[in-house]
Amino acid sequence: MPINKSMNYTGIVKIKYFTFASKNNPFKLECGKTLNQVTLAYEIYGNAKNIDKTILIQHALSGDAHAGGRYSPEDKKPGWWDAMIGPGKTFDTDKYYIICINVIGGCQGSTGPGSINPDTGKPYGSSFPLLTIRDMVNAQVELINHLGVDKILTVVGGSMGGMLTLRWAADYPDRVISAIPIATASKHSAMPIAFYEVGRQAIITDPNWNGGNYYEKETPAMGLAIARMIAHITYLSDESMHNKFARRLQDSSKNYQFSFETEFQIESYLHYQGTAFVSRFDANSYLIITKAMDYFDLSYGYKNLAETFSEVKSKFLVVSFSSDWHYPPKESKEIVTALRMNDVDVTYSEINSSHGHDAFLIEFKKLGSLLSGFLNNLEKEISDV
Amino acid sequence: MYRHHNKNRSDFEIITPLVKEKSKVLDLGCGDGTLLQKLVNDKKIVARGVEISEEGVASCVDKGLSVFQGDIDEGLADYKNKSFDYVICIQTVQVVRNPKKVIQEMLRVGKKTIVSFPNFGHFMVRFGLLFKGIMPKSKTIPYEWYNTPNIHHLTIKDFRNFCGSLDIKIEKEIPMHNTKARSFSLGKLWANLFAHNGMFIISRK
């Protein structure tokens, strides 16, 4: 695909904010509680003239609204899905109006446990309500309405982003023209719940956690770092760990040190991941969001998953990765099965990759061309109508 | 992509006129989607496919086709009875683990089923084993014993008997010589001797 010189996308992007709800008109949550004020951080790529071709990108657990571009020309690190966003790329900024929103409960601009509670003037901390994936979607709906978007051409995301995508398609069938859930599942099975619970326990048992009220003090950095290290292992695969680290030592010139200092490269890598995460993520957000993922069961309240999809009108592209054991391909197939029982137009692809769950942030070439093919034909179908 | 390795465009030429306009078609082992795309263009069908290879699926998506990446049997189980006008399986039944189950499932989800396969009853195949004493080859069976994807070997007559024993209605039998559909004027025996491929349109009685 040729890279066009784009008039409306410089690659320099800005984070924006939208605030809604009030004491008289609070935002209602599934747990029964309410929020009197909700702010969403979001970014937009592409031109508003393409608003009838809106793509809503959903981020994963540790992601944020910064999916593409850079904040300044000097900015070293572009958005987390920048390889997919831009002129001539899969999410073509010349053709589409692309939105990415930080979920509520998060800590990168949207209202979360670290935000100031307008009623008290202090951070929510322990008083922040527990959320669900549906709450996150319902908050997004407010912003989507505010932006003047009626129907969304594609809702797309990996991992938790895939859950948000599925929830959108199931709850707002008239507004979602197509959905691309990637490396995801229709529910958290016991295994991801188990891993996330170990992570949560690491945070909760960190003495600095203090019941969630730590914003003016030391943060539970150790607990959060351990939580991240555990989770990160589940995003890799046996093969990718072997390829990247095997049993290699940090200093190959040395023999075993017989100490608990960092010796193996994999140890060093995990420590780095843990520390890097602590610098950009809030422990309470981690608790709230992982719990929302654990609560996620698309079929909850329905007879079964097929019934959940009974109103679905979107065209689907479901993508899994062969070595993903966090959300294995069979869980994607369950989604496909339930969709097909409703005669939904669905394509399923299992991309062969050794990168485990993280493949959706790595396999840009395969993923990009698959999604481009899907989007190009979608456009044709819509213009035919 | 072994499943469509052996597929001739000729199968596609023969199938196209058999398919009604605007019907719903499922192609099992659809490869890169060439047949489905032809049917979409020529007959305005609603197309679905099942394909094992990632590359095949990507090509299908490029063509705007909706396909399931996986084995044929898992590609069928979710569909309701008679959800397709046609279920097509070109040059593939001989490579699946359980052809009987697959064909029964095809008959369940499709009003009509179109199956084609290489005919092991072809005289060259018979001569090969009889006179040369080696596993036979023909135009449509070019493999060595150690690299053939064909794990089941059947003849046109075998397939007729199979349909008879399972009470399957044979709506049409199309023996194919070289790459063309051909009527064998001397009858069924001759088809089994001289056809390289057999194609059948079958349905539940």
A35-84: pLDDT as tens digits: 999 999 999 999 999 999 999 999 999 999 999 999 999 999 999 999 99
Segment among A163-167, A336-340, B89-93, B179-183 with least mean pLDDT: B179-183
Shortest CA gap A95–chain B (Å) = 18
- Annotated active-site residue in A159, A178, A353, A354: A159
Test B61 with A347 for CB contact under 8 angstroms.
yes
Mutate to test the interface with A, among B25, B40, B54 (most CBs of A within 10 A): B54
Contact of B194 with chain A, judged by CB distance below 8 Å, is answered with no
Query: Taking Cα atoms as reference points, which of A239, A274, A186, A223 lies closest to residue A358?
Result: A239
CB A60 within 8 Å of CB A157:
yes
Question: Pairing state of beta strands A27-28 and A34-35?
Answer: antiparallel
Position B1 pLDDT exceeds 50: no
Query: Taking Cα atoms as reference points, which of A365, A317, A366, A368 lies closest to residue A90?
Result: A368
Q: Provide the mean pLDDT of chain B.
A: 89
Band of pLDDT at residue B140, cut at 50, 70 and 90: confident
| B185 CB-near residues (< 8 Å, 6+ apart) | none
Test B80 with A374 for CB contact under 8 angstroms.
no
pLDDT tens for each residue of B4-53: 444 566 788 899 999 999 999 999 999 999 999 999 999 999 999 999 99
- Map residue A199 onto helix, strand or coil: helix
Instruction: Identify which of B61, B68, B69 has the shortest CB distance to residue A373.
Output: B61
pLDDT tens for each residue of A153-166: 999 999 999 999 99
CB B67 within 8 Å of CB B49:
yes
pLDDT value of position B73 = 76
Active site residue A52: no
Test A347 with B54 for CB contact under 8 angstroms.
no
Q: What angle do CA A202, A246, A203 make, to 5 degrees?
A: 5
Band of pLDDT at residue A145, cut at 50, 70 and 90: very high
Contact of B2 with chain A, judged by CB distance below 8 Å, is answered with no
Band of pLDDT at residue B183, cut at 50, 70 and 90: low
Token representation of residue B203:
């349905």
Domains of chain A listed by start with CATH number: 16-189+300-384 (3.40.50.1820), 194-289 (1.10.1740.110)
pLDDT value of position B184 = 61
Position A94 pLDDT exceeds 90: yes
Contact of A379 with chain B, judged by CB distance below 8 Å, is answered with no
A chain contacts of residue B83, beta-carbon cutoff 8 Å = 343
pLDDT tens for each residue of A321-363: 999 999 999 999 999 999 999 999 999 999 999 999 999 999 9
Question: Pairing state of beta strands B168-177 and B197-204?
Answer: antiparallel
Active site residue A324: yes
pLDDT value of position B75 = 73
Query: Taking Cα atoms as reference points, which of A142, A118, A109, A128 lies closest to residue A27?
Result: A142
CB B105 within 8 Å of CB B79:
no
pLDDT value of position B6 = 47
Contact of B72 with chain A, judged by CB distance below 8 Å, is answered with no
What would you report as the CA-atom Rg of chain A, rounded to the nearest whole angstrom?
21
pLDDT tens for each residue of A243-269: 999 999 999 888 898 999 999 999 999
The residue ranges of DSSP E strands in B60-196, in sequence order, are: 66-69, 84-90, 110-118, 168-177, 180-181
Domains of chain B listed by start with CATH number: 2-204 (3.40.50.150)
pLDDT value of position B2 = 40
- How much is the ipTM here? 0.90
Instruction: Identify which of B54, B64, B68 has the shortest CB distance to residue A351.
Output: B54
pLDDT value of position B3 = 42
* Count of CB atoms situated within 10 Å of the CB of B142: 12
Band of pLDDT at residue A2, cut at 50, 70 and 90: very low
Q: What is the mean pLDDT of residues A150-178?
A: 98
Band of pLDDT at residue B64, cut at 50, 70 and 90: very high
**How far is B34 from B56, CA to CA, in rounded Å?**
10
Test A343 with B83 for CB contact under 8 angstroms.
yes
pLDDT cut 70: percent of chain B above it: 91
